[in-house]
Amino acid sequence: MSSESTGSFKDRMINLAGKFAATRFVRAIMDAGYSVIPFTIIGSIFLILNVLPQAFPIPGFAAVYANSLGRFSNLFQAGYNATMGILALIFAGQFTFSYTKIYEKEENLNLVPLNALFMFLMAFFITVPQLIWKNGVIQFQQSLKPDNIIGGGYAVSTGGITRIAAVGIFTGLVVGWITVQVYRFTVKHNWQIKMPESVPAGVSNSFSSLIPGACVAIVVSVLNLALVLAGTDIFKVLYIPFSFISDITNTWWGFLIIIFLIHFLWWFGIHGATIMSSFYTPIILANMAANAKGADNFFAGDPLNAFVIIGGSGATLGVAIWLAFFSRSAQLKEIGKVELVPAIFNINEPLLFGLPIVYNVDLFIPFLGAPLVSGLVSYFAFTSKLVPKIITQQPWPTPVGLSGFIGTASWRGAVLSIVCALVAFLVWFPFIKRYDNRLLKQEQEAEAAA
């Protein structure tokens, strides 16, 4: 392939990825993904407190726990419910707020993001109760079955109201999108009650959202009614395509496609993790919440930072250590020293742009190959039950070993994390060793010429 055609392909990739990442919907999704991180971590802490006997299977510990912290398990569950149990509200609510704010700035519209958030909450709760058409009347569904408790249309469990938890994220995103678009339409067509300038801003804003809010309620109610009359509802309709996508991400080949795309984009200098996470964040959050209730999903929580891209994209923790202590090239040794500490916390921009890895044909294969191999190792470790499922989400900078332990609440997760880091370095070693020898030779020749 000629350099001209290669350059053209790179430019097309960068432009395409740039345009996608710059879309309003994707930017709002990214904001939502960032906003839920502290809540998922807080929820994970409460969950870990509830599963300590599982995390430390030491003889006698379960009895000690039952007579101490175990007495407060319902309190820990309440803390978990207040975070993971309302995840759809947090995620989709932040999406709606950010999406409105983007339109407000970029289209110079008189939109109030906080009002949009409140409209979303109203619209979302219109869809939460389970309704049925029976005897010519819309009725709330009722069920007292142990595995399906529904009162007044609201499905409940020890985790709270089921549909406002992670399972409702996808519906929340759709309702949030509808809310913003209806709000935007009404404002652009001046369907608002305008108050005199002398009226305080808070009062004026409340009246200005009256007509848009009514329109949002009508649109969502009519949509909900049409689906109920058809024998379903928006949650059940959206469950089909999104469960299909979720099932694909839980396969080994679906997982590898995600890893490949992240690193393929990164090699062109495009933040692949940020772009791909806009797709899979709702899935891993829903899967993690389901795992905590007994499901068995592999792609949950944060498997990438815990078991795949340890040290940063490309799984470069071992590379950073080797460069700092064993490389012979002065250039690579200095880069290794700079990168060593950040790599412990899964940050590797010094390697991506300083080694460099980006646009470097010599390191293309290990950059893609190492995380793919560590991804396969982790996938089969989980699916073969050697390591328990992921039930919590660790902060992404959590160091190797500790990240695996937190994610699985098990020492076996810690061991797997370390094994994956070692396997990734084995893929890297022949390539980084050859690259080191090449740079060393260039440095020696330059020194001799000088």
On whether residue 154 sits in a domain, the answer given is yes
Q: Are residue 277 and residue 419 in the same domain, yes or no?
A: yes
* Selection from 150-164, 201-215, 280-294, 417-431 with the highest mean pLDDT: 417-431
Task: Specify the number of domains making up the chain.
Answer: 2
Q: Give the pLDDT mean for 214-230.
A: 95
pLDDT at 145: 81
DSSP element (H, E) containing 365 = helix 364-383
Q: Are residue 205 and residue 297 in the same domain, yes or no?
A: no
Q: In 3D, which of 129, 145, 155 has the Cα closest to residue 228?
A: 129
Last residue of a domain, one of 197, 212, 244: 244
Tokens 């076996």 map to which residue? 412
Last residue of a domain, one of 228, 244, 260: 244
CA-to-CA distance for 437 and 151, rounded, in angstroms?
A: 70
pLDDT at 198: 63
Q: How crowded is the C-beta side of 440, counted as CA atoms within 13 Å?
A: 12
Q: What percent of the chain has pLDDT over 70?
A: 95
What is the band of 110 on the pLDDT scale with cuts at 50, 70, 90? confident
What is the band of 152 on the pLDDT scale with cuts at 50, 70, 90? confident
Q: Are residue 255 and residue 333 in the same domain, yes or no?
A: yes
Type of residue numbered 103: Y
- What 3-state DSSP class applies to 140? strand
CA-to-CA distance for 125 and 227, rounded, in angstroms?
A: 16
Q: Are residue 293 and residue 238 in the same domain, yes or no?
A: no
One DSSP character per residue, 63-122 reads HHHHTTGGGGHHHHHHHHHTTGGGHHHHHHHHHHHHHHHHHHHHTT----HHHHHHHHHH
CA-to-CA distance for 443 and 450, rounded, in angstroms?
A: 11
Q: How crowded is the C-beta side of 372, counted as CA atoms within 13 Å?
A: 16
Strand partners, 151: 154
Q: Looking at the predicted structure, is the pLDDT value of residue 199 above 70?
A: no
CA-to-CA distance for 272 and 227, rounded, in angstroms?
A: 37
Q: Are residue 232 and residue 261 in the same domain, yes or no?
A: no
On whether residue 61 sits in a domain, the answer given is no
Q: Are residue 189 and residue 225 in the same domain, yes or no?
A: yes
Taking the alpha carbons at both ends of the chain, their separation in whole angstroms is 36
DSSP element (H, E) containing 203 = helix 201-208
Q: 389-400 pLDDT, tens per residue? A: 999 988 888 999
Q: Are residue 259 and residue 231 in the same domain, yes or no?
A: no
What is the band of 265 on the pLDDT scale with cuts at 50, 70, 90? confident
Instruction: Work out whether the CA dihedral 361, 363, 367, 372 comes out positive or negative.
Output: positive
- Token digits of residue 102: 């983007």
218 burial level (CB within 10 Å; 0-12, 13-18, 19+): exposed
Alpha-carbon distance values, 249 to 112, 201, 238, 252, 391 (Å): 37, 47, 17, 8, 17
On whether residue 291 sits in a domain, the answer given is yes
- Compute the mean pLDDT over every residue in the chain, rounded to the nearest whole number: 89
On whether residue 395 sits in a domain, the answer given is yes
Q: Are residue 377 and residue 339 in the same domain, yes or no?
A: yes
Residue, of 429 and 204, whose pLDDT is higher? 429
The answer to whether 24 and 106 are in contact (CB under 8 A) is yes
pLDDT at 122: 96
Q: In 3D, which of 404, 397, 399 has the Cα closest to residue 381?
A: 404
Q: Looking at the predicted structure, is the pLDDT value of residue 193 above 80?
A: no
CA-to-CA distance for 156 and 149, rounded, in angstroms?
A: 6
The answer to whether 165 and 43 are in contact (CB under 8 A) is no
CA-to-CA distance for 306 and 286, rounded, in angstroms?
A: 18
109: left (phi over 0), alpha (psi -120 to 50) or beta: beta
Q: 320-335 pLDDT, tens per residue? A: 999 999 999 999 999 9
Last residue of a domain, one of 195, 226, 244: 244
On whether residue 54 sits in a domain, the answer given is no
Q: Are residue 295 and residue 418 in the same domain, yes or no?
A: yes
Q: Which of 248-257, 267-276, 327-336, 347-356 has the lowest mean pLDDT?
A: 267-276
180 burial level (CB within 10 Å; 0-12, 13-18, 19+): buried
Q: Looking at the predicted structure, is the pLDDT value of residue 5 above 70?
A: no
Q: Looking at the predicted structure, is the pLDDT value of residue 127 above 70?
A: yes
Q: Give the pLDDT mean for 83-108.
A: 94
- Token digits of residue 182: 């209806």
CA-to-CA distance for 252 and 382, rounded, in angstroms?
A: 11
What is the band of 187 on the pLDDT scale with cuts at 50, 70, 90? very high
Q: Are residue 326 and residue 186 in the same domain, yes or no?
A: no
On whether residue 15 sits in a domain, the answer given is no
pLDDT at 196: 67
On whether residue 333 sits in a domain, the answer given is yes
On whether residue 99 sits in a domain, the answer given is yes
Type of residue numbered 354: G
Q: Are residue 200 and residue 261 in the same domain, yes or no?
A: no
The answer to whether 104 and 113 are in contact (CB under 8 A) is yes
- Token digits of residue 345: 């916390």
Residue range of the domain that includes 120: 89-244
Q: 344-386 pLDDT, tens per residue? A: 999 898 899 888 898 898 999 999 999 999 999 999 999 999 9
pLDDT at 354: 87
CA-to-CA distance for 271 and 35, rounded, in angstroms?
A: 19
CA-angle at 256, arms to 254 and 260, nearest 5°: 120
323: left (phi over 0), alpha (psi -120 to 50) or beta: alpha
pLDDT at 1: 44
Q: Are residue 132 and residue 98 in the same domain, yes or no?
A: yes
What backbone phi and psi angles, to 5 degrees, belong to 151? -125, 120
- Token digits of residue 90: 């947090």
Q: Looking at the predicted structure, is the pLDDT value of residue 128 above 50?
A: yes
Strand partners, 148: 145
Q: Which of 1-10, 73-82, 150-159, 293-302 has the lowest mean pLDDT?
A: 1-10
